[in-house]
Structure 1
Amino acid sequence: MDSIDIFIFVAEGLIIIGAILAILMPLIKSLDNPGSLVKTGIGVAVLLVVFFIAYSMADSEVLPKYAADPFNLTPEISKFVGGALLTTYALFIIAIVGIVFTEINKAIK
Structure 2
Amino acid sequence: MDSIDIFIFIAEGLIIIGAILAIVMPLIKSLGNPSSLVKTGMGVAALAVVFFIAYSMADSEVLPKFAAEPFNLTPGLSKFVGGSLLTTYALFLIAIVGIVFTEINKAIK
TM over 0.5: yes
Structure 2: gaps spanning 5 or more residues? none
Q: Distance in 2 between matches of 1:107 and 1:47?
A: 29
Q: Distance in 2 between matches of 1:2 and 1:73?
A: 34
Cα deviation, 1:76-105, whole Å, max 9, x if unaligned, reads 111111000000000000000000000000
Superposed, 1:35-46 pairs within 5 Å as 35-46=35-46
Q: Give the TM-score of the pair, scaled to structure 2.
A: 0.97
Counterpart position of 1:72: 72
Counterpart position of 1:103: 103
Cα deviation, 1:56-93, whole Å, max 9, x if unaligned, reads 00011111111111111111111111000000000000
Cα RMSD, aligned residues only: 0.7
Q: CA deviation at 1:8?
A: 1.5
Q: Give the TM-score of the pair, scaled to structure 1.
A: 0.97
Ranges of 4+ aligned residues in structure 1 off by more than 4 Å: none
Aligned sequence identity (%): 88
Counterpart position of 2:21: 21
Q: Distance in 1 between matches of 2:72 and 2:48?
A: 27
